Structure 1
Amino acid sequence: MDDTKPIVLVVAGHITPADVPRLDEELRAGLPETAAEVVCDVGGLVRPTLAAVEVLARLQLTARRRGCRLGLRGAGPELRLLLDLVGLEALARK
């Protein structure tokens, strides 16, 4: 596996609190030990809510524990505002 390419995880649709463990497990399962970066493609999120923010916070924690950076691709203004309100604005700037 090429560890210079970021791992891409798509987070799309309507996210609910029930999706948090599933998406975290999906990242854990697909994250090799040598990965340096994870990119969450959030362009397909429908009406981001705090559940989506919870997913992203959990994914960021999982990536950090594995020594990876986590960034977002396709974050719209609504998601950026929510991230800013909860103190995770740096996540959207990566």
Structure 2
Amino acid sequence: MSSRPGGGLPGVDATETVVMRISGSPGPDDVPRLCAELSALLGGAAGAGEAVCDVGDMIAADLTAVDAIARLRLTAQRLGCGFRLRGAGPELRALLHLVGLSGLAGPG
């Protein structure tokens, strides 16, 4: 995980975790908006070190969802932040594994 250096005491991790929730079934037209929302969240959180994407309320585990997740990960990386998922179900985990992104969902 990479993080932007924060101010404050030396040797103290002053990073913040930003949580973004995706619910429903995102379509291809939603991906740019989701990336812009994540950029705004990370840009507004001084010292944000990690973005957590909560997908527990996502309805469809399909390749559009995987594309959205991959692009959100790239957005976070471009801003110097780590990225991980929370609440990924077994179907989404299986798709992420097939495309080489299983590490985003954590152990399971």
SS at match of 2:85: strand
Q: Distance in 1 between matches of 2:60 and 2:74?
A: 23
Q: TM (normalized to structure 2)?
A: 0.79
Tell me the residue number matched to 2:16.
Answer: 5
More strand by share: 2
In structure 2, stretches of 5+ residues that fail to align are: 1-13
Structure 1 runs (4+) greater than 4 angstroms displaced: none
Contact kept, 8 Å, 1:15 with 1:48, in 2: the verdict is no
SS at match of 1:47: coil
Tell me the residue number matched to 1:20.
Answer: 31
Q: Among residues 78, 82, 89, which one is paired with 1:76 in the alignment?
A: 89
Identity %: 53
Tell me the residue number matched to 1:47.
Answer: 60
Q: Which structure's CA Rg is the greater one?
A: 2
Q: TM (normalized to structure 1)?
A: 0.91
Q: Distance in 2 between matches of 1:79 and 1:12?
A: 13
Q: Distance in 1 between matches of 2:77 and 2:16?
A: 17
Q: Distance in 2 between matches of 1:17 and 1:49?
A: 11
In structure 1, stretches of 5+ residues that fail to align are: none
Contact kept, 8 Å, 2:16 with 2:47, in 1: the verdict is no
